[in-house]
Amino acid sequence: MLSEQSAATVRATLPAVGGAIGVITERFYDRLFAAHPELLRDLFNRGNQAAGTQRQALAGSIAAFATYLVEHPDERPDAMLARVAHKHASLGVAPGQYETVREHLFAAIAEVLGDAATAEVAAAWDEVYWLMANALIAIEARLYAERGIAAGAAAWREWEVVERVEETPDVATFRLRPADGAPAPAFRPGQYVSVQVRLPDGARQIRQYSLSGAPGAGVRQISVKRVRAARAAGAGGDSGVRTTGPRRDSGVRDAEYGAATAEYAPDGEVSTHLHAHIREGDRLRLSAPYGDLVLDGRTGGATDTTPLLLASAGIGVTPMIAMLEHLAGTGHPAPVTVVHADRSPADHALRADHLAYTGKLPDAAAHFWYEHPEPGHPADRTGRVDLAGVEVAPGTRAYLCGPVPFMKAVRGRLIAKGVAPADIHYEVFGPDLWRASPMSSGPVGEATTSSTVTGSSEA
């Protein structure tokens, strides 16, 4: 791992580098895109770049990795790296691109730190960078090999839309099959695919969408929420979980827009394109399935005794539906608690599936909270999620997906109810600002970061 000499230098300079990391990443991206405009056009998420959220996530991930190395010199945060590697592999990131990133990152460091960026300091941080980069390259190579594909253009495959279903006014499900007639690749419930579309300006933008159906069928499906222009909800917005005080917004807006800090979030480029232009018979370019927020390999089947809790808000429901369908199909006998928050029943995408799959399980209960419920909806299920009255079985393993404040609050409630932190797993749509700071309360081991250099998301 990190050499003793470099560890001492990194430890001594971490406050200075950490204090300037926001400026460093800003200069880095400016340099990178000036030298390689095609990366912003065809690889990086232009929406996240414009909002500044990806810059925050990259800054946090670098600082968090360096902090971990100096605090745990004989270890490596493999859980954190695995999630980043899954996201990179879904984009077709190739080993040579890490050298390109290093060139412009270290030029930015030298520019910002000035005389403080001595040869010794540069060498120490170069060691940190390559420890992280080489680990990612190795994990990504394994992920590609497991799928029988290569990085770059070979990572993409043509799929045909065989059906489009309007789930809500803003959510459409696209059912797809491989255009070449070959079998669809296997996946695990909770995983996602990257979708690449050609936009009117010629850019080939990429976003990730969870697979919203269980494995097994020859057809795959994604459920896409159209992101509409709005003032962005900040990362510190409402959690969607009831604590004290008056009821406020359910927090679903954060699920739609990530945790953007820009004052204004434009229409999502890719989601808008899919809703406006993609119909039955059209083709899309998809990656193989990736993602590590998945049901444990032992989960499911008549002999599994692990209680589960699946909590979601807004479009975060999509991976939970795939998990729930899988559990229903395999006859999971242990308790399953389903929790969901949304604006209203009409906005609750895949609501019928949510109820149907829960109903097929022998010991399951669904708890839905709505900001604007239908007449007759229980008062204690109106507004923000309140887990006080929800029974959580001992030994529960929990999966969370939704806005970061929602997940942080649910996690806190679950820990208070006796759920082990290591048994709480989460997924963030977009740059993961929960882990964007080494001072964050988000755990590295049990709930890992999805911060990436490119930061594509669902918009």
| Residues belonging to the active site | 98, 140
Q: Which residues touch 432 (CB under 8 Å, ≥6 apart)? A: 57, 404, 442, 449, 450, 451
- What is the C-alpha separation between 202 and 255, in angstroms, rounded? 28
Write a three-state SS string for the chain: CCCHHHHHHHHHHHHHHHHHHHHHHHHHHHHHHHHCHHHHHHCCCHHHHHHCHHHHHHHHHHHHHHHHHHHCCCCCCHHHHHHHHHHHHHHCCCCHHHHHHHHHHHHHHHHHHHHHCCHHHHHHHHHHHHHHHHHHHHHHHHHHHHHCCCCHHHHCEEEEEEEEEEEECCEEEEEEEECCCCCCCCCCCCCEEEEEEECCCCCEEEEEEEECCCCCCCCEEEEEECCCCECCCCCCCCCCECCCCCCCCCCHHHHHHCCCCCCCECCCHHHHHHHHHCCCCCEEEECCCECCCCCCCCCCCCCCCCCEEEEEEHHHHHHHHHHHHHHHHHCCCCCEEEEEEECCHHHCCCHHHHHHHHHHCCCEEEEEEECCCCCCCCHHHECCECHHHCCCCCCCEEEEECCHHHHHHHHHHHHHCCCCHHHEEEECCCCCHHHCCCCCCCCCCCCCCCCCCCCCCCC
Spatial CA neighbour of 8 closest among 62, 76, 75, 73: 73
CA distances from 206 to 40, 144, 193, 232, 256 (A): 11, 18, 10, 21, 17
